[in-house]
Structure 1
Amino acid sequence: MERRKFLQQGTFAGISALALGGLTGSNASAAPAPAAGQKTFNLNYAPHDGMFRNNGGNDFLDQIKFMHDQGFRAIEDNGMLGRDVAQQEKIGNLLSKLGMQMGVFVVDTGNNWKTSLASGKQEFKDNFVDTCKKSVEVAKRCNATWATVVPGFFDRSLPIGIQTAHVIDGLRRGAEIFEPHKLVMVLEPLSDTPDLFLRTSEQSYEICKAVNSPACKILYDIYHMQRNTGNLIPVMDMCWDEIAYIQIGDNPGRNEPTTGEINYKNIFKHLHKKGFKGVLGMEHGNAKPGKEGEMALIKAYRDSDNFL
């Protein structure tokens, strides 16, 4: 299942700094304090549109209020770029009122799922730059910081080194746009298809070092990295200084923690020990349908978050 079709919506979060406590200028502050009677989590998990539709209602704004009532203090919205301006502003205003953070949204150029930046063709660079400029305006409306970037597919007619140089060049153009606004594009290595250029965190780490900008970091999606490489915690530690955002999904099935093979309680404990203060996007489905399935998902997070 393609990840851009997997979720109904997504998000781009505000950046007073990068998501990891170990990073210079990273999100050094913890999640907002809970309202009276509310219990937040030890880490800052971010649901998305549709995840709590049965309990919260069809309106995303109502779902956000329900998320807040359940102790969540962040959201994601991959499709924020495609929402109308008024809706973007309403979401941003509600998050501000509730003391919630915005997670990622996708810099969707329309070329994420085909050969694009790796080719080095000017048309794809221009399209990427234009979309980055639009993303800056969206970020302002919804109080965002991070935006997901997918460089597209391999160009198998070119040597890998040439493709990598093309991707780095394109990302440098994007970083030049984001950096003055203290926004961060987070590169996401994926497992959906072997045609994708960006496949591992180690590869993403190399590219981030080459781009050499605080506006270009890694999105470490635990689900995808379990499928592509495994060895989750050691690789995460090796890439730590370039990781700015984390996403969640168990494997197999790409649903909430406790439904697959990944020991999320241990991973969450490790992140907490490292001083992680950023957003963990809940980029997965619900294992069970309906209201009961949504409440079972919340229980799974409560259980996995019980590591202290």
Structure 2
Amino acid sequence: MDVAAEPSAAARHSFTVNLSILFGELPLLERPAAAAAAGFTAAELWWPFGEQYDPSEAELDALRKAFTDAGVRLTGLNFLDDLSWGARGAVSVPSERDRFRANVPVTVALAASLGTPALNALYGNRVEGVDPAEQDALALENLVLAARAAHGIGAILLVEALNRPESPDYPLVSAAAAVEVVDKVNAATGLGNAKFLCDLYHLARNGEDLAAVIDTYADRIGHVQIADTPGRNEPGTGELDFEDLFARLTAAGYTGRIGLEYRPSTGVSADSFEWLAREHRAAVR
């Protein structure tokens, strides 16, 4: 795809920019304003406080103020994940049980204060010496707890598949595996608010047929994230045909947001949005 050409299919979608990976050249509290300057009105975050599962009220207030002052809505937020040390989430990790559960009300309260409609709970890596069945049982308990808490503020709970090359110890490395967990959570809660986070970059790195994933799981997709492959940079720098993928999402009835979760190929985030016309960057819903 020509990066200078606006794919017409993009105009039918609403975009949100991931501020944990984009504008990473700036301090966190400056990123919402930078996103607004680039034309975006919605953003999402991985858990932004590192190992802190219960940050101070001053830290939470500073983050809230950064978003409200910029006029940017936080549309997605991870529960405790501490990606800085490669944990890939906490929900299935026995040693993280108490910290994750203490983090749930903190995350939900922050989301509620900013009108955040989607919360992502990364599954966590397999732990050497621990029975995978024990981890899966713990994950289901934790995800049920998180889904109920999210439901209390009208939010959905997202479950994500990652790619095996980058996350070899993460067990959910296919759309089918993530959707299976989603279905188990919904069966346990009866709420129906657990959804599949369809990250097209991760699925492509796993060799999945993206068109088939969209067609098969459209009714379970709660959010979509994108980056081009193989470099995880902006659309137009790799192998994926985003015009076709956006059109397929529309045809499948997907009306949710698309999260830009890529690394700018030049290292300068503001220069990585040429593929998306400025008039289509502001969220329409």
Q: 1:149 aligns with which of 121, 136, 154?
A: 121
Pair 1:294 & 2:265 matched? no
Q: Which deviates more from structure 2 when the two are superposed, residues 110-119 or residues 125-134?
A: 110-119
SS of 1:299's equivalent in the other structure is: coil
State how 1:1-308 maps to structure 2 within 5 Å. 41-49=11-19, 51=22, 59-68=30-39, 72-80=40-48, 84-94=59-69, 98=71, 101-110=73-82, 113=87, 117-118=91-92, 121=94, 124-155=96-127, 157=129, 160-191=132-163, 192-212=166-186, 213-290=191-268, 294-295=270-271, 297-302=272-277
On the 8 A contact 2:89/2:121 being kept in 1, the answer is no
Seen in structure 2, the aligned counterparts of structure 1 residues 108 and 264 have a Cα distance that, compared at 3 Å, is same
Deviation at 1:89, TM superposition (A): 2.3
**Deviations for 1:212-254, whole angstroms, at most 9, x for unmatched residues?**
1433211111100001132012112212222101101000110
Deviation at 1:59, TM superposition (A): 2.4
Distance in 1, Cα, partners of 2:208 & 2:43: 26
The aligned amino acid for 2:177 is: Q
On the 8 A contact 1:88/1:141 being kept in 2, the answer is no
Distance in 2, Cα, partners of 1:146 & 1:79: 13
In the alignment, what sits opposite 1:23?
A: none
Structure 2: tracts of 5 or more residues without a match: 1-9, 281-285
**Deviations for 1:94-153, whole angstroms, at most 9, x for unmatched residues?**
46xx5x54332221154871795445x4x5333222111110111022221112211211
Distance in 2, Cα, partners of 1:76 & 1:259: 23
On the 8 A contact 1:81/1:138 being kept in 2, the answer is no
The aligned amino acid for 1:141 is: S
Distance in 2, Cα, partners of 1:158 & 1:79: 25
Distance in 1, Cα, partners of 2:79 & 2:162: 15
Give the structure-1-normalised TM-score. Answer: 0.71
The aligned amino acid for 2:244 is: N
The aligned amino acid for 1:177 is: A
Deviation at 1:54, TM superposition (A): 8.6
Deviation at 1:201, TM superposition (A): 1.4
SS of 2:201's equivalent in the other structure is: helix
On the 8 A contact 2:30/2:66 being kept in 1, the answer is no
SS of 1:59's equivalent in the other structure is: helix
Seen in structure 2, the aligned counterparts of structure 1 residues 196 and 53 have a Cα distance that, compared at 3 Å, is closer
Stretches (4+) displaced over 3 A:
48-55, 79-83, 109-112, 114-119, 155-163
How much is the aligned-residue C-alpha RMSD, in angstroms? 3.1
The aligned amino acid for 1:62 is: A
Q: How many residues align?
A: 253
On the 8 A contact 1:245/1:279 being kept in 2, the answer is yes
Structure 1: tracts of 5 or more residues without a match: 1-39
On the 8 A contact 1:81/1:135 being kept in 2, the answer is no
Give the structure-2-normalised TM-score. Answer: 0.76
**Deviations for 1:18-54, whole angstroms, at most 9, x for unmatched residues?**
xxxxxxxxxxxxxxxxxxxxxx943112223374589
**Deviations for 1:132-183, whole angstroms, at most 9, x for unmatched residues?**
1110111022221112211211245455555433322221122222222212
**Deviations for 1:46-89, whole angstroms, at most 9, x for unmatched residues?**
2233745899xx82242132133xxx342122244568222232
The aligned amino acid for 2:153 is: H
